[in-house]
Structure 1
């Protein structure tokens, strides 16, 4: 499967996958990002796994704690399978040592603490999409 989320046809908006089990938060994040990104929103790690195998995404944003599988495990698996895709963890609370381990294990682009400022979310996702493109460009050389 190709990791080229910038293929012709969707080059105008980078593809972003957002995973959160809280529908109101998922809706707010999707609305904030949809102006600049092609957003796919799902409510579980299982749905995210299906989405990841249907199309390529430049950025994966996952909530940390969700029923039926946590976002951190999803991000670690995504790192292994889609190394160029940038990973962002959203969390309400994490101990500093757990956070550092998580950043290292999933090679996170960033983590965001709840409540997330929407302007910060949009900026971080823009930066992550650029990092994806740079990673793909370096790998192609």
Structure 2
């Protein structure tokens, strides 16, 4: 679990391995301050979350919720349904990101405890992969 302190508030991220049943359970438990995504790198999930929070603060959001905005930005598309198909939670390794609370890591720990999953080690991605991901995510600003 990693905590990131930003000018938009704290963000906490963890990587977990989920079964199909755990995905469904997690989707039901994860509230408005939590998002589950299938992505390659923790850096891209963090960047998409930062841009989503910034968009809401500045009134430039395209989705109705921060959770939806994270999906749109991470996927680099304009339609929620398409974003869910591209980066939505599914069986296997996923990232869970929490935000918008005083202690997002405490919230994340509580969520992980409720569903009974163990974290997978968060490893940084290759810089070239991260660069391409950041470019795709940033393009959402111009869509």
TM-score, normalised with respect to structure 1:
0.27
Answer 1 or 2: higher relative contact order, Cα 8 Å, separation at least 6: 2
TM-score, normalised with respect to structure 2:
0.27
